[in-house]
């Protein structure tokens, strides 16, 4: 709260900022525990701004209204113990009370997010304190999983076991998370604050699209540390993060993160909520101006950036991979669009304990990894029945499918996402999976609204929820974008086709894939193809105006 009054008059602030002045959002934790869970959900609506404050303890009202909540559980660096994973599965099984007629995912499920967290659905406010107590027993929290504060800290999911990493950044991710979580001085920022740190060579923590991204670098004298990027993000105003010419060693990284949070808290836009993200401040100040402001707020001189060591963007970690220690492997499992039935999560926890080192690692593409598998147990794990559902070797479309919550639960989404994305991926794998070059992944990311929770702007094929008028009726539709990626060829997608009705998507994608397979050059990826072919020609194919354009 200290960031507000010295720099703004309350009358100048947007409504959410005024609510935060009236009551520290972290105080809602005790209100849920001691009041709302006892007297009922109706009491929340009587307190102005209270639904907004619920985000600071990881709660969102579902679109169904009434006593239906989504809960987000923080998983710093994406690493769960098998006991933690089993506990989340048990809580979902016991307290989720969703629809009984889902023909795609069944009932009692949870979702892996693109920030390495887990979300539970259909929770009652009366059960929240019990869920919190159970999570606390296994060392987990929902505090600041949402809201205008530091979100879950991303890290390479195979930190510590990747044979090619520069250094293990997971302890640093935990240190950063511990500093910010529950820290009232940094719990009220202009908007959400997303951080990532990795010591790997493959941009697994997506530094370019975070408010702060730290990735490995080396100074001329051989010192290994991290270069700092700021101001990345997606949503309505996508922006690649800026290099601010700062190098830090791991022992200074938390202080740099704190200093950047202070810059954002003091100078970030609190008047216009639509312009209150970090990327707009970086754009306003410029990289050099931002560096100057940071230098005023840390107790040491800033070192210029070193040689950047990141080599490429790694889209996933599926399959079987040898770890840093010979004789041990990690196995990446495909969780289609990130949705796990509660029994499957419980079984996944059992497999991790029986065959691995009792750890499950979550990825930014909504998948899961069992680590520490000895070679002598590898075949037995790969033959486990559950791996027929969570395959290490999926087709190229199921492998690349990512989806947000969609209008099944989210109040902002305008279309259903997860079931559609799962169906489309399965359909494309059945028709085209065997024709794509071995090892190629075609990433399809589906967000139900412009908020970009599924990161469509960095996908090979991105979908954004929309509506279309068909025969006098309004139907669910998507805007279609093509050619996005991070890494050495980083670029956001071009939105090629607008308002394509969802029931026409499989046919449109089929036409596009047919064109790709018939006209690609030797060794050309799908992403390379759609970047080469003019957008108008791609739009022609997607819209169904013609079946071929040679």
Residue 101: what pLDDT? 45
Residues carrying CATH 3.30.413.10, the chain: 170-308, 398-542
Residue 98: what pLDDT? 61
What values do phi and psi take at 530, rounded to 5?
-70, -20
Q: What is the distance between the alpha carbons of residues 433 and 439, in angstroms, rounded to a whole number?
A: 11
The whole-number average pLDDT for the span 342-363 is 97
Residue 115: what pLDDT? 97
Beta-carbon neighbour count of residue 274 at 10 Å?
11
Q: Is 80 exceeded by the pLDDT of residue 2? A: no
Report the range of poorest mean pLDDT among 3-17, 170-184, 364-378: 3-17
**Could you say which DSSP state residue 524 is in?**
-
Residue 380 is inside which H or E element, if any? Answer: helix 375-382
Residues 321/287, Cβ–Cβ less than 8 Å: no
Q: What is the distance between the alpha carbons of residues 374 and 351, in angstroms, rounded to a whole number?
A: 13
Beta-carbon neighbour count of residue 538 at 10 Å?
22
Beta-carbon neighbour count of residue 348 at 10 Å?
25
Q: pTM score, two decimals? A: 0.95
The whole-number average pLDDT for the span 173-177 is 98
Q: Edge to edge, what strands does the sheet with 109-112 contain?
A: 59-61, 69-73, 118-123, 109-112, 339-341
The whole-number average pLDDT for the span 484-500 is 94
Residue 544: what pLDDT? 83
Q: What is the distance between the alpha carbons of residues 115 and 363, in angstroms, rounded to a whole number?
A: 8
Residues carrying CATH 3.90.480.20, the chain: 10-137
Residue 550: what pLDDT? 31
The whole-number average pLDDT for the span 100-120 is 77
Average pLDDT, the chain: 94
Q: Is 171 helix (H, G, I), strand (E, B) or coil?
A: helix
The whole-number average pLDDT for the span 259-266 is 97
Among residues 266, 251, 121, 243, which one has the least CA distance to residue 189?
A: 266
Residue 108: what pLDDT? 75
The whole-number average pLDDT for the span 424-437 is 96
Q: Is 294 helix (H, G, I), strand (E, B) or coil?
A: helix
Among residues 342, 455, 343, 454, which one has the least CA distance to residue 405?
A: 454
Residue 11: what pLDDT? 80
Residues 463/480, Cβ–Cβ less than 8 Å: yes
> What is the tens place of the pLDDT at every residue in 507-535?
999 999 999 999 999 999 999 999 999 99
Residue 96: what pLDDT? 87
Q: Is 70 exceeded by the pLDDT of residue 153? A: yes
Q: Is 70 exceeded by the pLDDT of residue 374? A: yes
- Which architecture characterizes domain 10-137 according to CATH? Alpha-Beta Complex (3.90)
Q: What is the distance between the alpha carbons of residues 152 and 270, in angstroms, rounded to a whole number?
A: 22
Residue 308: what pLDDT? 96
Residue 223: what pLDDT? 98
The whole-number average pLDDT for the span 275-294 is 97
Query: Which two three-digit tokens encode residue 11?
Result: 């009358």
Residue 485: what pLDDT? 95
Q: Which residue has the tokens 């992403």?
A: 527
Residue 235: what pLDDT? 86
**What DSSP string describes 139-158?**
T---TTSSSSSB-PPB--TT
Residue 545: what pLDDT? 56
Q: What is the distance between the alpha carbons of residues 463 and 469, in angstroms, rounded to a whole number?
A: 18
Q: Is 250 helix (H, G, I), strand (E, B) or coil?
A: helix
Fold of 398-542: Sulfite Reductase Hemoprotein; domain 1 (3.30.413)
Indicate the pLDDT class of residue 276, thresholds 50, 70 and 90. Answer: very high
Q: Does domain 170-308 have CATH number 3.40.50.10860?
A: no
* DSSP-based helix, strand, coil % in the chain, nearest 5: 40, 20, 40
- Which architecture characterizes domain 319-390 according to CATH? 2-Layer Sandwich (3.30)
The whole-number average pLDDT for the span 459-486 is 96
Residue 1: what pLDDT? 40
The whole-number average pLDDT for the span 102-115 is 74
Indicate the pLDDT class of residue 8, thresholds 50, 70 and 90. Answer: low
Q: What is the distance between the alpha carbons of residues 75 and 359, in angstroms, rounded to a whole number?
A: 12
Q: Is 50 exceeded by the pLDDT of residue 104? A: no
The whole-number average pLDDT for the span 171-184 is 98
Residues carrying CATH 3.30.70.3340, the chain: 319-390
Print the SS3 string covering 371-414: EEEEHHHHHHHHCCHHHHCCCCCCCHHHHCEEECCHHHCCCCCC
> What is the tens place of the pLDDT at every residue in 183-216?
999 999 999 999 999 999 999 999 999 999 999 9
The whole-number average pLDDT for the span 470-498 is 95
Residue 369 is inside which H or E element, if any? Answer: strand 368-374
What are the helix and strand counts (H, E) for the chain? 17, 20
Among residues 335, 336, 338, which one has the least CA distance to residue 121?
A: 338
Q: Which residue has the tokens 């200093």?
A: 259
Question: Residue 120, class by beta-carbon neighbours within 10 Å (0-12 exposed, 13-18 middle, 19+ buried)?
Answer: buried
The whole-number average pLDDT for the span 471-480 is 95
């Amino acid at each position: 709260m200290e960031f507000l009054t010295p720099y703004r008059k309350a009358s100048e602030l947007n409504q959410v900022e005024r609510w935060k002045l009236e009551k520290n959002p972290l105080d809602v934790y005790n209100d849920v525990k001691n009041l709302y869970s006892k007297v009922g959900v109706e009491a929340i609506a009587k307190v102005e701004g209270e639904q907004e404050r619920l985000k600071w303890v990881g709660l969102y009202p579902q679109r169904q209204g009434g006593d239906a909540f989504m809960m987000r559980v923080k998983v710093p660096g994406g690493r769960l113990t098998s006991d933690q994973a089993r506990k989340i599965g048990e809580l979902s099984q016991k307290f989720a009370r969703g629809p009984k007629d889902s023909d795609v995912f069944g009932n009692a499920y949870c979702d892996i997010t693109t920030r390495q967290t887990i979300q539970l659905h259909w929770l009652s406010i009366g059960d929240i304190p019990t869920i919190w107590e159970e999570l606390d027993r296994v060392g987990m929290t929902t505090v600041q999983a949402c809201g205008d504060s530091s979100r879950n800290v991303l890290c390479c999911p195979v930190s510590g076991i990747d044979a090619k990493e520069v250094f293990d950044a997971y302890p640093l991710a935990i240190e950063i998370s511990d500093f910010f979580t529950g820290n009232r001085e940094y719990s009220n920022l202009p908007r959400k604050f997303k951080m990532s740190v990795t010591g790997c060579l493959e941009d697994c923590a997506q530094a370019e699209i975070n408010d702060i991204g730290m990735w490995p670098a080396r100074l001329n004298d051989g010192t290994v540390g991290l270069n700092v990027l700021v101001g990345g993000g997606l949503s309505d105003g996508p922006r690649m993060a800026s290099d601010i010419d700062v190098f830090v060693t791991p022992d200074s990284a938390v202080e740099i993160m704190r200093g950047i949070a202070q810059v954002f808290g003091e100078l970030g836009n609190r008047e216009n909520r639509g312009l209150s993200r970090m990327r707009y401040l970086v754009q306003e100040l410029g990289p050099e101006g931002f560096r100057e402001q940071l230098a005023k707020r840390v107790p040491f001189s800033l070192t210029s950036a070193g040689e950047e060591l990141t080599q490429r963007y790694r889209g996933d970690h599926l399959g079987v991979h040898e770890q840093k220690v010979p004789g041990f492997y990690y196995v990446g499992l495909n969780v289609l669009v990130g949705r796990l039935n509660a029994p499957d999560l419980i079984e996944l926890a059992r497999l991790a304990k029986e065959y691995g080192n009792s750890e499950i690692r979550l990825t930014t593409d909504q998948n899961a990894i069992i680590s520490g598998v000895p070679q002598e147990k590898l075949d037995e794990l790969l033959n486990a029945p559950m791996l027929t559902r969570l395959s290490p070797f999926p087709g190229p479309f199921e492998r690349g499918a990512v989806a947000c919550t969609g209008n099944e639960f989210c109040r902002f989404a305008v279309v259903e996402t997860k079931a559609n994305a799962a169906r489309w991926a399965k359909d494309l794998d059945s028709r085209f999976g065997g024709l794509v070059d071995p090892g190629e992944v075609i990433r399809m990311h589906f967000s139900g609204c412009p908020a970009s929770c599924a990161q469509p702007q960095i996908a090979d094929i991105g979908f954004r929820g929309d509506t279309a008028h068909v025969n006098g009726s309004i139907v669910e539709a998507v805007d279609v974008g093509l050619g996005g990626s991070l890494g050495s060829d980083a670029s956001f997608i071009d939105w090629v086709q607008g308002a394509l009705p969802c029931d026409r998507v499989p046919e449109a994608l089929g036409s596009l894939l047919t064109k790709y397979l018939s006209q690609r050059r030797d060794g050309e990826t799908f992403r390379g193809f759609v970047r080469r072919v003019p957008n108008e020609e791609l739009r022609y194919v997607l819209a169904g105006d013609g079946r071929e354009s040679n």
